[in-house]
Amino acid sequence: MAYLPNFFFLFLLIVSLYIFFRNLKKVKRNISLGKDVNRNNNSNARLKNMLRVAFGQSKMGSRPVAAILHLIVYVGFILINIELLEIILDGILGRHRIFAAFLGVFYDYLISTFEILAFLVLIAVFLFWTRRNIVRLKRFFSPETVGWPTFDANNILYFEVVLMFLFLFMNATDMLLQEANVDLYVKTGIFPVSQFFKPLFLDLSIDNLIFFERAFWWLHITGILIFLNYLYYSKHLHILLAFPNTYYANLESNGKFDVDSSIKNEVQLILYPDKEISSEINTPDKFGATDIFDLNWIQLMNAYSCTECGRCSNVCPANLTGKKLSPRAIMMKTRDRLEEVSKNLDKNNGSFINDNKQLLNDYISPEELWACTSCNACVEECPIEIDPLSIIMDMRKYLTLEKSAAPAELNSMMNNIENNGAPWPFSNQDRLEWVKE
């Protein structure tokens, strides 16, 4: 009977971790639906890029206030894992503050640091919430953020507040039990923030204090496990995916497009019909992309990693001038379609049954695609190096090469190139006519 809480804790932990890893496996499966692309080269440069951009948050600096607030929440998230480790060991072994015995006075400083951090996280979360709900920053409000995305963004802030208060209340009641020399509640020194919450629990009997301390402990760890499993459904999956996303980011200069050899071949065939072309290059079944299966796995990982911060749309010239395009929406729609495919696979034992839908038209319209100026500002601005432009270009490729459905202006330019070898409607034989004049 004495071990019942330990068994229950272990059960809760195993179930939560099982669901978490099952969902993570699903994310991996869904990302693997994308085409293969080799980004295993240059591992040193990739590692440096990941440390600089994801770990060091180097691209957040363009907005210093948001960067500092985000850093506080981020450091809080990293450090809280140390505290979490202790909670898990306590829960399994039926101990209380297991690290205190090993770390001595260092433990006091550690707990003090966590408390100060928890306080700073509360301030940061309050400012984030105010920015979103009172100041109503424009980039948080666009058609793609209506409904779940806004609910999700607020949800996580409320989650953080509840978790931080539970942590501080747990320490406040613990401190009172330490002062009363109750067995198990070892003296652990200073509690710089939670001591201000002590008055809330001063009148409680020892039994009630123990009850509340335990309740806060259980709610805190349960909240963390719920948070862990909520990640899959949330834009906060970026907490995990920002790291691989920046590791596998495109290290080429922004703006340099991949030259698709098969397309180069086709163009050469049109322009120089007599020239011999390489026979080693396989012409694909389809040029460009209409659905997630035609994108590569990095593009799909990008979709799962998007933080929905809207920095890309905020600098997008098409978006700023009232066009239908929003690079954030491109990423969100790609993820939505990916999730739809994922449900289809789950329902059909891992086989995809044609649902007569696709990313193009059902989610992303040609109007959005052709509004893009291919300026690369969205790629440049993204704090975790997501590339919405590559998806736009792949879908345009399909419209152009498979459907000849480019806008009329582009079609006439391409016809001119095909017929005259130049974008203008004049034969290249007449190129020097102006000299005679």
Please report, as ranges, the residues that interact with ligand SF4 according to CB under 6 A.
306-312, 316-318, 325, 327-328, 331, 372-378, 381-382, 384, 386, 388-389
Q: Which CB atom, from 69 or from 177, has the smaller least distance to ligand SF4?
A: 69
Phi/psi for 321 (5° steps) reads -100, 20
CB of 311 to ligand SF4, least distance (A): 4
- Cβ count within 10 A of residue 411: 13
Q: Which CB atom, from 194 or from 307, has the smaller least distance to ligand SF4?
A: 307
The answer to whether 305 and 241 are in contact (CB under 8 A) is yes
CB of 76 to ligand SF4, least distance (A): 20
DSSP state of 198: G
Write the CA distances from 421 to 138, 402, 431, integer angstroms.
46, 21, 11
- The Cα 146–Cα 238 span in angstroms is 20
CA 351 to chain centre: 27
Look up residue 5 and give its two tokens: 């809480």
Q: Which CB atom, from 83 or from 308, has the smaller least distance to ligand SF4?
A: 308
- The Cα 268–Cα 283 span in angstroms is 13
Instruction: Pick left, alpha or beta for residue 104 (phi over 0 → left; psi -120 to 50 → alpha; otherwise beta).
Output: left
Q: Which CB atom, from 210 or from 301, has the smaller least distance to ligand SF4?
A: 301
Q: Which CB atom, from 224 or from 378, has the smaller least distance to ligand SF4?
A: 378
CB of 338 to ligand SF4, least distance (A): 14
Q: Which CB atom, from 76 or from 327, has the smaller least distance to ligand SF4?
A: 327
| Angle (deg, nearest 10), helices 388-401 and 261-271 | 40
CB of 315 to ligand SF4, least distance (A): 6
Helix or strand holding residue 434 (H, E): helix 433-436
- The Cα 437–Cα 434 span in angstroms is 5
- The Cα 30–Cα 43 span in angstroms is 24
Look up residue 84 and give its two tokens: 């979490």
Where are the alpha helices (H) located in 32-147, listed in sequence order? 43-50, 64-93, 98-103, 105-133
Q: Which CB atom, from 160 or from 381, has the smaller least distance to ligand SF4?
A: 381
CB of 169 to ligand SF4, least distance (A): 34
Instruction: Output the DSSP codes for 60-83.
Output: GGGSHHHHHHHHHHHHHHHHHHHH
Residue with tokens 């433990």, as numbered in its chain: 107
Cα dihedral 415, 420, 426, 432, rounded to 10, equals: 160
CA 294 to chain centre: 21
What is the separation, in whole angstroms, between the first and last Cα of the chain? 105
Q: Which CB atom, from 87 or from 316, has the smaller least distance to ligand SF4?
A: 316
Q: Which CB atom, from 111 or from 318, has the smaller least distance to ligand SF4?
A: 318
Q: Which CB atom, from 359 or from 377, has the smaller least distance to ligand SF4?
A: 377
Q: Which CB atom, from 70 or from 220, has the smaller least distance to ligand SF4?
A: 70
CB of 395 to ligand SF4, least distance (A): 12
CB of 385 to ligand SF4, least distance (A): 8
- The Cα 88–Cα 218 span in angstroms is 11
